Structures are given as structure tokens and as C-alpha cells.
Amino acid sequence: MINLKNIRKKIEGNIEENKSSKNYNTWKVGGNAEYFYEPKNVKELKIFLKLAKDTEITFLGNGSNVLIRDKGIKGCVICLKNTFNNYEVNKNNEFSFEAGLSCMKIAQITSKRNYTGLEFLCGIPGSLGGALAMNAGCYGGNIWEKVIKVNLINKDGKIIEKDKKDFSIGYRNVNLNENNFFISASFLLQENPLNNSLDTIKNYLKDRRSKQPTGLPSCGSVFKNPDNAHAANLIDSLGLKGYKIGGAYISKKHANFIISDNGTKSSDIESLIIFVQKKVYEEKKIFLETEVKFIGSKL
Ligand SMILES: Cc1cc2nc3c(=O)[nH]c(=O)nc-3n(C[C@H](O)[C@H](O)[C@H](O)COP(=O)(O)OP(=O)(O)OC[C@H]3O[C@@H](n4cnc5c(N)ncnc54)[C@H](O)[C@@H]3O)c2cc1C
């Protein structure tokens, strides 16, 4: 239980009770967060975590890879996207970014300075913290490839520095201790002799627009690609494009995307996910593991 009155005396960041999560995830669905906090800076976040030590904590970036259930989120959601936006360009081609910075901004910052290696981040609508947690990637790159070290904060408010080698990194997966959260990361990049990083970004964005239903509420790819197959092709081959449950439907443009209409409930989306898993398993004997993370308890 959080003592809001006491906490507000000690911190300046925005803290609210019973906050709707709909504007904090790209499907625009989900119930309320019991508490919602946007820390002003690391110093304040440390103080908050010490004061809220018996509270369940969920970190959220841009909410572009989560399904927040209708019943909402117990404890406190800590959202970094509006405040942890600082970065530094250090000597030796090293860039340090705070975890709330958007992937798009990081691609732009590095490309405008003519450094190559993170252009692929441009179309991923997440924050750095979420991208590290997911090992986000596309166009042959993924975020951990260029990481040298990260700073984490644990649930007791202690800062921990770790090297890339301290993590086991896989496809959309990193072995992060559940009581540790990313607050910043450093990357080692190369200067681009071809001077074409901004053109690369333009091409990636154009390609994405032609293949994905960008602009509609989704979480990107719902399912991970199984070994030697594409989730989208498997779903498409069963004729499921356009299939709808409540307000949630499978995109006609990309079968691994589920779109939410106005008024869609999280339970519509979750039912559709389970339906697709069942169908693909029945017909193809392949289990589609979800890429999207579920937050909050089931009804
Ligand atoms: C249109 C669209 C296209 C997409 N395309 C791609 C793509 O090409 N490639 C790809 O990989 N993904 C893609 N995604 C998915 C998503 O954008 C990425 O997974 C992104 O990195 C998630 O970042 P986020 O900040 O939104 O994370 P969130 O959705 O906020 O969180 C995702 C997970 O990370 C955890 N988390 C968030 N912040 C932190 C933190 N600071 N410390 C520890 N854990 C944290 C959350 O608790 C949650 O478990 C796409 C999504 C959309 C909507």
C-alpha cells in the first residue's frame, strides 16, 4: 500500500491513483493501474522505490508490446517514456541513452550524427527500456547487438551496472531478473563512411508502411516466429485474415497483427490470441508462442 500523501512530500514526479491505462498502450485497451508514477529522474526514482517497497511494481515504456488486461494492474506502474529522455554522446563513438527515449528518436540522434548501427530502430514504436526487455529488432538487427553496458535499478532502489556479457540474449528475449529494471544503456557505434543512415531510415519506414497496418491500434507482431516458419504465413494459410472477436480482428494487411476497434476489450484480444493458437495447433501442429506480454490478472 502506497502512502500517497507522504510520497508526494518527497517527490515531484507525477503520481496518480486509479489511472486509466488506455492512453499508455498502443492497443488503447485495459483497466486502471492502482497507482501510476512518472519519475522525474533517477535520484527521485530511488527514493520512490524505497518508500513503496511492499508494492508490486510494473515498468512500462510506450506500451507497444503489452496487453493490459481489463481488470487493470495491481500495485504501481512506473512509466519512463515522458521523463527519462536524456542522452550523452561520449568520446570513442559511445552513446548513452536513458530508458524512456523512443526507438525512433535514438535512430534519428545517431543517424543525424552519421553513426550507423541503430537505423533499424526507426520503425519500432517502443522506448529503449521496452526494447532492451524484448530484445527488439527488425531488418536483420536487434538492439542488444550494439549494447556495451546497461544501468539497472532494482526494486529496493539500488543502481546496478551490468555489461552485455552478464545477459543471455535470445530472440525477443533477455534473461532479466524480475526485480531489475533498465534505466539507461550505452552503445558503441561506428561512423558511417557511406553517409546514408537517414536514407536507410526513410527506406525502412516506407517498407514498413507497405507491409504493416501502421497507424491502426496494434502491438505489432502478436506471435513469435516459430523455427523455420513465419507466424503470419501460418495464420494467413488458415484464411484467418479479418477474423474478428468482439472489437478485435486480424489485420487483412498482415496476419500477425491484431487490430483493436473503438470499444475493444482486452478480453476480446486475448480470446482472439487463444483462438489463433488453437487453430494453428489443430491444423499445423505448431504452437505459436506470444511475443506480446500480458499484464494484470485475468477476469
Ligand atoms: C506497429 C508496431 C510495430 C512493431 N514492430 C516491431 C519490430 O519490428 N520489432 C520488434 O522487436 N518489435 C516491434 N513491435 C513491438 C514493440 O514496439 C517492441 O517490442 C518495443 O521494443 C516495446 O517497447 P515499449 O517501450 O513499448 O515496451 P512496453 O510495451 O512498454 O513493455 C514491453 C515489456 O518490457 C517491459 N519493460 C518496459 N520498460 C522496461 C524497463 N525500463 N525495464 C525493464 N522492463 C521494461 C514491460 O514490463 C513489458 O514486459 C512493434 C509494435 C507495434 C505497435
Closest ligand 1 atom to Cα of 99: 41
**What is the CB neighbour count within 10 angstroms for residue 10?**
11
Distance CA 275, CA 269 (A): 10
Looking at 79, 95, 120, the residue that finishes a domain is 79
Residue pair 24/77 in contact by the 8 Å Cβ criterion: yes
7 pLDDT above the threshold of 70: yes
162 and 185 both lie in a single domain:
yes
Residue 64 CA to ligand 1 centre (angstroms)? 5
Q: Quick check: is 281 in a domain?
A: yes
271 and 290 both lie in a single domain:
yes
291 belongs to the catalytic site: yes
Q: In one letter, which amino acid is 211?
A: K
pLDDT in tens, 55-83: 999 999 999 999 999 999 999 999 999 99
Distance CA 77, CA 54 (A): 14
Q: Which of 80, 85, 121, 134 to mutate to test the pocket of ligand 1 (most atoms within 8 A of CB)?
A: 134
299 pLDDT above the threshold of 70: no
Q: Which of 21, 124, 177, 204 to mutate to test the pocket of ligand 1 (most atoms within 8 A of CB)?
A: 124
Total domains present in the chain = 3
Q: Which range of residues forms the domain containing residue 55?
A: 4-79
pLDDT at 191 (0 to 100) = 95
2 pLDDT above the threshold of 90: no
92 pLDDT above the threshold of 90: no
Distances (CA, A) of 193 to 112, 196, 197: 13, 8, 10
**What is the CB neighbour count within 10 angstroms for residue 165?**
9
Looking at 173, 198, 223, the residue that finishes a domain is 198
CATH code: domain of residue 177: 3.30.465.10
Catalytic residue among 111, 127, 221, 266: 221
pLDDT in tens, 166-180: 999 999 999 999 999
pLDDT in tens, 41-60: 999 999 999 999 899 999 99
Q: Which residues contact 280 (CB under 8 A, 6 or more apart)?
A: 234, 235, 238, 286, 287, 288
91 and 24 both lie in a single domain:
no
94 and 193 both lie in a single domain:
yes
CATH code: domain of residue 16: 3.30.43.10
Name the grid cell of 249: 480482428
Strand, coil or helix: 204:
helix
Distance CA 244, CA 248 (A): 6
Catalytic residue among 102, 172, 186, 197: 172
pLDDT at 110 (0 to 100) = 97
Q: Quick check: is 205 in a domain?
A: no
**C-alpha closest to that of 254 among 208, 197, 213:** 213
- Residue in this structure with the C-alpha cell 527519462, named with its chain if needed: 84
pLDDT category at 269 given cuts 50, 70, 90 is very high
127 belongs to the catalytic site: no
pLDDT category at 248 given cuts 50, 70, 90 is very high
93 and 47 both lie in a single domain:
no
Nearest CA to ligand 1 atom 8: 138
What SS3 string covers 234-255? HHHHCCCCCCEECCEEECCCCC
The per-residue pLDDT of the chain, averaged, comes to: 97
Residue pair 176/167 in contact by the 8 Å Cβ criterion: yes
85 pLDDT above the threshold of 90: yes
CATH code: domain of residue 218: 3.90.78.10
Residue 216 CA to ligand 1 centre (angstroms)? 16
Q: Which of 25, 64, 223 to mutate to test the pocket of ligand 1 (most atoms within 8 A of CB)?
A: 64
Residue 220 CA to ligand 1 centre (angstroms)? 9
Q: In one letter, which amino acid is 171?
A: Y
